[in-house]
Structure 1
Amino acid sequence: MKLVSAEQINAVLDWAGVLDALWRMHLGARPQIDDYFLGDGECGLFSRGVILPGLGAGVKIVSIFPGNLQATPPLPAEQALFVVIDEHTKALVAICDGPAITAWKTAGDSALAGERLSRQDSSSLLVLGAGPVARALTEAYLHIRPGIRQVMLWNRTSSKLEPFVAELRGRGIDTTLVADLDEAVSRADIIVSATASSEPLIKGRLVRPGTHVDLVGGFRPDMQEADTELVTRARLYVDDRKAALNSGDLRIPLLTGLIGEESIEADLFEICQSGEILRGADDITLYKNAGGAHLDLTICQYVLRCLASQAS
């Protein structure tokens, strides 16, 4: 069995390859996927399983313990790995670093949809969050929308973003550390949120026509990154209907009758397979990125192919 480190994963991946691998997977058969969560309020154990024709199977295991951040020195609040199962032999063939795979596949998921759902002339990007996934999302959107001229970054603890702001500015990218979130929301062309917030951060009344909003962070029914006004104003898209409707951003307005399951216009398989124009110039589009182990498996298998190619 191979052990694949974060360093190996990051060394072989780029956004063009990741997006191509995810796009090709979404042109094929739908996977069997399911999630399992246990928690006691202080910690959580999260697993995601998948069987995907053509790519085998796998299981992601995540341990979540925010208390680790208070340790000396601080430890990761989330630790994870992904086990890859061979399609033909059913053998456990690889264990891949979970956080690295998560960052690439999560941002790739959003960017694949964002290519179709955001305006091509988008010039301003607002990203909420300061973790590795928020960084990856920033890079992925800069890849698919090279016309972006301004990046705005926000986090409750702004100091966590200072190194990333300096890095982007060093690359010649006009980057602002946001103090007034509402003001930034009102002028962004693309808004991406990767937080663990249980209270809405993005107010629908402030989002201007033509904006694309990408909600990534909330995965539990009590998590909500945008208010219900935004959800009712926007054209709704998701990566996976079942997982997305279990997240607070959609589940809360669903339970109160503000939207129905039919309000979701397409999932990511349908987005990738559709030749239709999925937005008008003044439409607000909202994409709920809920993830799924089929995405992790796709990127793990792509990494394994890249490593095998290097070794041959």
Structure 2
Amino acid sequence: MTDSVPLIDAATIERLTPMPALIAALRAAFADGTYQSPPRYAKDLSKTSSLLVMPSWSEGARLGVKIVNVDRVARPSVRSSYVLMDRATARPLAILDGATLTRRRTAAASVLAATFLARPDSRRLLLIGTGAMIPALIEAYASAFPIEKIFIWGRDPENASAAVTQARAKDFQAEAITDISAALANVDIVSAATLATSPLIMGEALRPGMHVDLIGAFRPEMCEADGVAFARSRVFVDTYAGAMDEAGDLLQAIASGHFNEEAIAGDLASLCQERNAGRGADRDAITLFKSVGAALEDLAAAEVVFERWQEDRA
């Protein structure tokens, strides 16, 4: 039976997940309300690495499990596989490259949130980080907003320059920067995708009308933005349970007294189900989206890949 289970590689996943279609699939999944995702299992494997197991299923015909190894000192730092199964029989339908699936669904989820929270005319994007998420974030944001200029910051200037070169090769106007706070004065959206353990985004530097997208800090000791950033923002999360269990910078903002759980304005489900207007007509609000990842995003993305893969073979 093993030989009959297709292995869908990274290149195929990228080809089969154009960002508009992926963002639409995630929106439909969050709006649907039937996807179930229990808290993910997390276990430290060493001082620098962790195992994550993330199951999800829906009232439809499929269920899926992602198995992830995160090692903060390895490159790439995230390695994973995704097993898509028939719900009734648990027979594997496909095994997907989990790292690529994760990167693309994560970028799509961030931009899905931004469609509700960022100004529709946002044109200047600051990316904090130089890892594998950056190309997917550029593709996703450019698919939904009229992005004219991209700024990229990295701890290693050479890595930032390399990310800029990669962006320019795809015809984006990109520039490496060294001062995050100074750059915040000139951008509409800032997206951080790092493994930082101390704040990179200072709330005092945020200006009215900005949108902040925090992707890293998926463990309590990690942090990308300080408590002031949360205090000054209208804060949304991908899921309440995940955020309150794992979102390091959010938990630290609460512990420091800058923020409290009751002040969270909404989650992706409330936005996609139109129970929350997000930014609404308030052009001056500072909005902040904190994500740690949700297993339903993996399942929705894997279903897009598998269905398109089947269409290719028909």
Using structure 2 for the length normalisation, give the TM-score: 0.92
| Residue of structure 1 in register with 2:37 after alignment | 32
CA distance in 1, matches of 2:13, 2:273: 28
CA distance in 2, matches of 1:152, 1:191: 9
Alignment of 1:1-312 (within 5 A): 1-28=5-32, 29-39=34-44, 40-54=46-60, 56-69=62-75, 76-146=76-146, 148-245=147-244, 246-274=246-274, 277-279=277-279, 280-312=282-314
Structure 1 residues 55 and 26: CA distance shift in structure 2, 3 A: farther
Unaligned regions of 5+ residues in structure 2, if any? none
- In structure 2, the residue corresponding to 1:225 is in which secondary structure? strand
Q: Encode CA deviations 1:22-44: one digit per residue, 9 max, x unaligned.
A: 11111212423221222131322
Q: What is the deviation of 1:19?
A: 1.0
- In structure 1, the residue corresponding to 2:82 is in which secondary structure? strand
CA distance in 2, matches of 1:203, 1:67: 25
Structure 1 residues 302 and 277: CA distance shift in structure 2, 3 A: same
Q: Percent identity?
A: 32
Q: What is the deviation of 1:222?
A: 0.7
Unaligned regions of 5+ residues in structure 1, if any? 70-75
CA distance in 2, matches of 1:169, 1:77: 25
Contact 2:35 2:56 in 1 (8 A): no
Q: Encode CA deviations 1:127-163: one digit per residue, 9 max, x unaligned.
A: 01111112211221111102x2211001101212333
Q: What is the deviation of 1:260?
A: 2.4
Q: What is the deviation of 1:240?
A: 0.6
Task: Look up the equivalent residue of 2:183 and give its one-letter code.
Answer: A
CA distance in 2, matches of 1:189, 1:66: 30
CA distance in 2, matches of 1:77, 1:8: 21
Contact 1:55 1:301 in 2 (8 A): no
Q: Encode CA deviations 1:270-301: one digit per residue, 9 max, x unaligned.
A: 10111654221100000001111111111111
For the aligned residue pairs, the C-alpha RMSD in angstroms reads 1.6
- In structure 2, the residue corresponding to 1:210 is in which secondary structure? coil
Q: Encode CA deviations 1:148-207: one digit per residue, 9 max, x unaligned.
A: 221100110121233331233344432110111211122211000000101000000000
CA distance in 2, matches of 1:193, 1:301: 27
- In structure 1, the residue corresponding to 2:42 is in which secondary structure? strand
CA distance in 2, matches of 1:68, 1:276: 39
CA distance in 1, matches of 2:78, 2:176: 25
CA distance in 1, matches of 2:170, 2:252: 40
CA distance in 1, matches of 2:173, 2:37: 42
